[in-house]
């Protein structure tokens, strides 16, 4: 007499093969774009600190969208839908909030009563004029709009003096490209003189200063033509208005 098996005792005649059991746990490949999209979303957090992060976030949006499209068109062939969505929505959040953060910083970085000035385009690019006797003259547009006015501008501290508690320093229009290892042209730099006993420490990177701009066209060679009597100094909140 044969011994009844479990199926006959329960009345269940359905038989599941081992192959079918393994098929329930079949691995579904995840498109590489999904993983790349998540990585870009993580790097997109830099959008709150630098403009390059906004472009990284935009790349994350595009890559993650391609991953989502691939997974949906695969009709179940691919996995990683959650991963792709994380990259997509994470990048969108960083892109949107990053732009908003930079826009707010730009709108609020100029102190009340000061005029925003682009050092490279509105001062340096004008260079200097000369009269009939070869005497240096401040360009009329600069003299009329900016000289003896309260201005706000950005630039880079010249690394010839990297000290602390400085009462004055030289501000360059860019991060040294104007000098090419030598002295900058007189219209590519200005001396910043801190007012009211303020001092500053040398800082790498883009800085912002606010104060009253003076011009001394008869300054001897090697002496600054433009001098900013500064009342405010700090790290630039945005790179807009620099180069």
> What are the pLDDT digits (tens) for 65-76?
999 999 999 888
Domain limit, last residue, from 86, 107, 128:
107
**Does the reported pTM lie above 0.85?**
no
pLDDT tops 80 at residue 143: yes
Give the residue with greater pLDDT, 166 vs 175: 166
Give the residue with greater pLDDT, 28 vs 156: 156
Residue 46 lies in a domain: yes
Q: Which band of pLDDT confidence, cut at 50, 70 and 90, is reported for residue 17?
A: low
Considering the domain architecture, whether residues 119 and 231 belong to the same structural domain is answered as yes
Domain limit, last residue, from 56, 86, 107:
107
pLDDT tops 60 at residue 156: yes
Q: How far apart are CA 45 and CA 236, in angstroms?
A: 19
Considering the domain architecture, whether residues 141 and 199 belong to the same structural domain is answered as yes
Residue 16 lies in a domain: yes
Residue 219 lies in a domain: yes
The whole-angstrom distance between residue 98's C-alpha and the CA centroid of its chain comes to 9
Give ∠ CA 194-195-199 in degrees, rounded to 5. 45
- Indicate left, alpha or beta for 76 from its phi (over 0: left) and psi (-120 to 50: alpha): left
Residue 37 lies in a domain: yes
Q: Which domain holds residue 133?
A: 115-235
Q: How far apart are CA 117 and CA 115, in angstroms?
A: 6
Domain limit, last residue, from 61, 84, 107:
107
Contact of 236 with 221, CB cutoff 8 Å = no
Q: How far apart are CA 113 and CA 101, in angstroms?
A: 23
Contact of 97 with 48, CB cutoff 8 Å = yes
Mean pLDDT value of segment 104-122: 93
Considering the domain architecture, whether residues 38 and 65 belong to the same structural domain is answered as yes
% residues pLDDT > 70 (the chain)? 85
pLDDT tops 60 at residue 9: no
Residue 241 lies in a domain: no
Q: Which band of pLDDT confidence, cut at 50, 70 and 90, is reported for residue 183?
A: confident
Residue 25 lies in a domain: yes
Mean pLDDT value of segment 198-204: 93
Q: Which residue, 57, 56, 59, 84, is CA-closest to 70?
A: 84
Considering the domain architecture, whether residues 32 and 101 belong to the same structural domain is answered as yes
User: From residue 141, how far is each of 22, 73, 124, 236 by CA, in Å?
Assistant: 79, 60, 12, 26
The count of structural domains within the chain is 2
Q: Which residue, 210, 181, 180, is CA-closest to 195?
A: 210
């Amino acid at each position: 007499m044969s011994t009844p098996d479990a199926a006959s005792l329960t009345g269940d005649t359905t038989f599941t093969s081992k192959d079918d059991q393994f098929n329930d746990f079949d691995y579904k490949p995840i498109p590489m774009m999904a993983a790349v999209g998540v990585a870009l979303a993580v790097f997109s957090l830099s959008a709150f600190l630098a403009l390059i992060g906004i472009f990284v976030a935009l790349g994350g949006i595009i890559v993650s969208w391609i991953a989502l499209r691939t997974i949906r068109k695969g009709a179940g062939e691919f996995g990683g839908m959650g991963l792709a969505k994380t990259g997509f929505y994470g990048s969108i959040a960083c892109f949107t909030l990053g732009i908003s953060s930079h826009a707010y910083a730009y709108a609020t970085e100029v102190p009340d009563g000061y005029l925003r000035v682009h050092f490279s385009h509105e001062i340096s690019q004008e260079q200097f004029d000369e009269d009939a006797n070869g005497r240096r003259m401040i360009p009329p547009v600069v003299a009329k709009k900016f000289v003896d006015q309260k201005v706000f501008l950005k630039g880079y501290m010249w690394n010839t003096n990297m000290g602390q508690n400085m009462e004055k320093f030289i501000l360059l229009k860019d991060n040294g490209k104007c000098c090419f290892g030598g002295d900058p042209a007189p219209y590519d730099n200005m001396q910043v003189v801190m007012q009211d006993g303020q001092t500053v420490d040398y800082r790498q990177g883009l800085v912002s200063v606010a104060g009253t701009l003076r011009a001394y066209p008869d300054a001897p060679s090697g002496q600054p033509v433009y001098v900013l009597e500064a009342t405010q100094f700090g790290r630039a909140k945005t790179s807009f208005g620099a180069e």
